[in-house]
């Protein structure tokens, strides 16, 4: 059995775990924001351009990410809203919001 004491841990140990928790939260929020930004940018980019020959002549065609489907853009906006919601809640609510975001 290990060493057991009734004395609470020193403040330096508690401060270190708090700092590590905040750092991991900051990294997770930054990664979420970058992922949502990349998804939004991908839906706005032109993916392909070409021409189709029809009876009246050449017909120019282009396709953007949002022309294919609107789901990635919608999910990116929801993800950004959830990232803001993480700052609005505390303790157990933050865990619930983070789980929904994941």
Please, which pLDDT band fits residue 51 given cuts at 50, 70 and 90? very high
Q: Tell me the C-alpha distance between 72 and 53, whole Å.
A: 31
List pLDDT tens digits, range 20-31. 777 877 887 888
Work out the mean pLDDT of the chain and round it to a whole number: 80
From 68, 31, 77, 75, select the one nearest 48 (Cα to Cα): 68
């Amino acid at each position: 059995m290990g060493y057991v004491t009734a004395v609470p841990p020193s403040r330096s140990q508690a401060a270190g775990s708090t700092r590590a928790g905040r750092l991991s939260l900051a990294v997770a929020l930054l990664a979420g924001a970058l992922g949502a930004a990349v998804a939004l940018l991908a839906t706005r980019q032109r993916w392909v351009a070409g021409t189709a020959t029809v009876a009246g002549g050449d017909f120019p065609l282009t396709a953007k990410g949002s022309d294919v489907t609107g789901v990635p853009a919608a999910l990116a906006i929801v993800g950004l809203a959830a990232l803001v919601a993480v700052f609005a809640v505390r303790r157990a609510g933050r865990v619930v919001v983070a789980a929904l975001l994941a």
